[in-house]
Structure formats: C-alpha cells, structure tokens
Amino acid sequence: MKKKKFSSNCVAQNRKARFNFFFEDTYEAGIELFGSEVKSLRDGKGNISDSYALDSSGEIFLYNSYIPIYKQSSYNNHDPRRLRKLLLKKKEINKIIGKINREGFTVVPIKIFFNSKGIAKINVAIAKGKKQHDKRLTKKERDWNREKSRVFRKSS
C-alpha cells in the first residue's frame, strides 16, 4: 500500500497583508483545529483576510478567521469564527508577546497551508502597519515594475 504524498499547498492567503504592513519576522505555527475544520480546509475553503492574533494568558490565539461549516459533518460541527490557538514554542511565544506589548507590533496571519506530512500550518508575521504615504510608494513601485517589464517584453 502506498502512502499519500501531500504537496505544500496553500489553502487561504492574506493578500492585503503585504500591502498594509511591514513584516519584521515570520513564524510557521501549528493551529489547533477540529476534524470538521480540517476537512473544510482540505476542500480549499477558509478566509484569513481580516484576522489577527493576540495573546491571552501566555498563549496566542487567532481571532476573526473564518473556516466554513463542513457540510457532511454531523451534529458536532464547529463554529466558523471561533478562537483558534496557535501552537508555537514557548521561546517564540515570549518573543512575540514582548514585541506586541512593547514596540507596537501586531501579529498578522499570512497563509494557511498543509505541510509535506499533511498537517495544517499557518504562517504568521510580526508586522508594523504602513502609513498612507508608504502604501502610495508601494503602489508606485509596483506600477513602475509592471511598466518596465512591458517595455522589456516589447523590445525583445
């Protein structure tokens, strides 16, 4: 019997995060899920675009993430917007909590994916919010790079 091979596929991505925040550090964390949540994620459903993470009594929880109800699940289905605990090492948790409390950073989820062993993981970043002029500069650079690639393509 062959073992199933899982590819590192992304389930949900926070695309606005890079535009709205400067990333300082990124961490790969486990996420505490129910069985029906895992099945819903395997179907490719989930949304973390408006979610964030905060500390509560020495642990870090993911707020406002949306994993829809799994249709084939029975009576013990999950709440789509419940708090989900992030599984990190104690040293990493202390570092994150210190940055959140002292320096005005926030913890933003970047993407939820399944690793090579088939376990659901989440990438989170310690980030600082961008000001309006920083966002304008990012947009200008993106437009300039797009225009530059068009010119090079036409000249080739």
Which residues are registered as beta bridge partners of 23? 127
Q: pLDDT 10s digit of each residue in the chain, 156 long?
A: 555 554 458 888 888 888 888 888 899 999 988 888 888 888 888 888 888 888 888 889 999 988 888 888 777 777 778 888 999 999 999 998 888 888 878 899 999 998 888 888 999 999 888 788 878 888 888 899 999 898 888 887
Q: How far apart are CA 117 and CA 4, in angstroms?
A: 9
Q: CB burial class (10 A; 0-12, 13-18, 19+) of residue 86? A: buried
Report yes or no on 79 lying in a domain: yes
State the total domains in the chain. Answer: 1
* Domain that includes residue 89, residue range: 9-130
Q: Establish if 147 belongs to a structural domain.
A: no
Residue 101 maps to a domain = yes
Report the predicted TM-score, pTM, of the whole model to 2 decimal places: 0.75
* Assigned domain for 142 exists: no
CA nearest 17: which of 100, 91, 112, 103?
112
**Nearest-angstrom CA–CA distance, 156 and 150:** 10
Indicate which CATH number applies to the domain containing 83: 2.40.280.10
